[in-house]
Amino acid sequence: MAAAPVIREPRHAPVAHVVRGGLVEGVHYGSVLVLGAEGEALLDVGDTEAAFYPRSALKPVQAVAMVRAGLPLDGELLSLAAASHSGEEEHLDGVRRLLGEAGLTERDLRNVPDLPFGAEEREAWIRAGRAPSRLAQNCSGKHAAMLYTCRVNGWPLEDYLDPGHPLQQAIAATAEELTGQRIARVSVDGCGAPLFAVSLRGLARAAARLTTAPAGTAEARVADAMREHPETASGSTRDVAALMRAVPGLLAKDGFEGVQVAALPDGRAVALKVSDGADRARAPVAAAALEWAGVDGDALKGFTGTVLLGGGRPVGAVSAVPPLPAPGAAG
């Protein structure tokens, strides 16, 4: 296992331009890594070896650790265990089912109360006069699965978010195994769960290990669940779900602060971080990286640029910049 990635101010590079009326209005910096099927770097932009927080892009790895520890889930509910969900009714119902199977209720959750993450769901929640809740918070599926794993193992429930808890120790060990490197630092994610600093190379490596794992393993079960139920892992209108539908066999997971990871069944993988956390740059940069990985550009057409409006009509876009667009790529 490699040493922990170095902790430093990342040496990011330009990855996306904000173009309005033919003028570059802004520049998003970041780092992008594309790995080939043998783990070789096909594209390395910015600082892919520095420690960073992958945020929710690490949820599939957390889910693998829970399955290894006996979490008895597959299909939609396992996808929900790795989700940053939008707060649609199917997500909330799924979390209730997860808790019910473990003999628990929403009161046992320790994630922070919040409004639904999805814009439409949030607006409907507010119009109905509903207060923030732990159930609606986008990580509630992961937290319900954490509690379920604790119940299966007879571990304490009250402090399941403590980094020293057996559950979190198991998750940390799995993160180090799958990323192939020591964790550089432990902090707290927005939902309250421990957050591990790794490198983009480690994150890409972990995703590739999920998609290339033998059938029946915890890694394959998580990857299959998310690919078969992408809307459960995100939301029915989310770009990451649409991307998994558009690219056969692709596993993809986004994270707050401009993070995304994706991997193909043969181990080709991409990982990226947009420096300023701008979500508008994440999808175009991810699409450009996937084209470098060999994904057919036709499958990525809907993800290559975030449209900018002026007076209600398109006047520009946020799109990836060289060297990200693959040689010969349109645009």
Per-residue pLDDT for the chain (331 aa), expressed as one digit of tens each?
A: 999 999 999 999 999 999 999 999 999 999 999 999 999 999 999 999 999 999 999 999 999 999 999 999 999 999 999 999 999 999 999 999 999 999 999 999 999 999 999 999 999 999 999 999 999 999 999 999 999 999 999 999 999 999 999 999 999 999 999 999 999 999 999 999 999 999 999 999 999 999 999 999 999 999 999 999 999 999 999 999 999 999 999 999 999 999 999 999 999 999 999 999 999 999 999 999 999 999 999 999 999 888 999 999 999 999 999 888 765 554 3
DSSP state of 249: T
Is 320 in contact with 304 (CB distance < 8 Å)? yes
Residue type, 99: L
Cis peptide before 323 (omega within 30 of 0): yes
Give the N- to C-terminal CA distance of the chain in Å, as an integer. 41
